[in-house]
């Protein structure tokens, strides 16, 4: 009788545990199923939409217009006194600031065009000289310029690490400058043939600029950011208003101000 009692207790306990495990397994399965459904519904629920890149919503020419607008709005008020300085502007297409450097009585002013666009006047001492080249291989000897403004908001920027190292090489000790780049947190496409970012772009966050400048012999003074705000509203009309609403508040470009310490 005693062993039969023990056997019955064992079987009852086993059945009880089996029922618990079966119920627990059902709960886990339901939780997994609910999580799967929630994952499948992301992007279809009210108020949640997939993020579309800038290039997917706006023509590249307009994006470049926005970048030029933001560049002039922020940079013009930060140009230092350049009298008797040798200056260099780097960019794509027409120069934006070289003439201003000349007006400030810079000793010499050079603009280096990264594009193959024809028709840009070669310039002279009164307007600034114009050459063509690559930001990753500047055709100047070491310690050549007092001031450099590099507009790298183009897919022709190449490897920005090499470009900044070249800037550090041709800048004199005690010289200063700024380079302008796509904001790393901007809505730029990371893939595709229409992307504006260089295929060699390796920037993932603002902290990367400190590392790049440090390895290039430069020190960062400050970083300024440009966001798409109300001032961009007049650039959109008609059906483009919705695109403006989609991108409003997102970062566009940033300005890295630096100097080269004297040794």
Least confident span in 8-12, 44-48, 235-239, 241-245: 44-48
How confident is the model over 169-201, as pLDDT tens digits?
A: 999 999 999 999 999 999 998 888 788 888 777
Per-residue burial over 43-53, b = 16 or more CB atoms within 10 Å of its CB, e = otherwise: eeeeeeeeeeb
The per-residue pLDDT of the chain, averaged, comes to 83
Q: Is the pTM of this model over 0.85?
A: no
Which DSSP symbol is given to 248? T
pLDDT for residue 18: 52
Q: Of 108-117, 182-191, 197-206, 219-228, where does the model show the most confidence?
A: 219-228
Q: Of 37-41, 119-123, 257-261, where does the model show the most confidence?
A: 257-261
Question: Which structure tokens are listed for 33?
Answer: 């199923």
Question: Which structure tokens are listed for 82?
Answer: 């350049």
Cα distance from N-terminal residue to C-terminal residue, the chain = 98
Residue 24: pLDDT over 50: no
How confident is the model over 71-92, as pLDDT tens digits?
A: 999 999 999 999 999 999 999 9
């Amino acid at each position: 009788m005693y062993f039969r009692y023990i056997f019955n207790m064992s079987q009852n306990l086993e059945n009880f545990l089996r029922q618990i495990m079966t119920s627990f397994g059902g709960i886990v399965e339901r939780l997994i199923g609910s999580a799967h459904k929630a994952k499948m519904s992301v992007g279809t629920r009210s108020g949640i939409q997939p993020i579309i890149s800038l290039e997917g919503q706006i023509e590249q020419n307009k994006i470049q217009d926005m970048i030029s607008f933001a560049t002039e709005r922020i940079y013009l008020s930060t140009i230092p006194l350049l009298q008797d300085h040798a200056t260099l502007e780097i960019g794509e297409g027409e120069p934006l600031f070289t003439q201003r450097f000349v007006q400030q009585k810079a000793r010499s002013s050079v603009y280096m065009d990264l594009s193959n666009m024809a028709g840009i006047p070669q310039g002279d001492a009164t307007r600034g000289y114009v050459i063509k080249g690559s930001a990753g291989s500047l055709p100047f000897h070491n310690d050549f310029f007092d001031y450099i403004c590099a507009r790298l908001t183009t897919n022709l920027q190449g490897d920005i690490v090499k470009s900044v190292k070249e800037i550090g090489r041709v800048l004199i000790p005690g010289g200063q400058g700024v380079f302008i780049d796509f904001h790393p947190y901007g809505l730029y496409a990371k893939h595709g043939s229409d992307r504006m970012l260089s295929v060699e772009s390796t920037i993932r966050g603002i902290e990367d600029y400190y590392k790049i400048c440090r390895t290039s012999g430069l020190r960062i003074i400050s970083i300024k950011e440009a966001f798409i705000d109300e001032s961009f509203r007049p650039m959109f009309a008609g059906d483009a208003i919705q695109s403006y609403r989609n991108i409003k508040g997102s970062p566009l470009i940033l300005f890295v101000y630096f100097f080269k310490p004297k040794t």
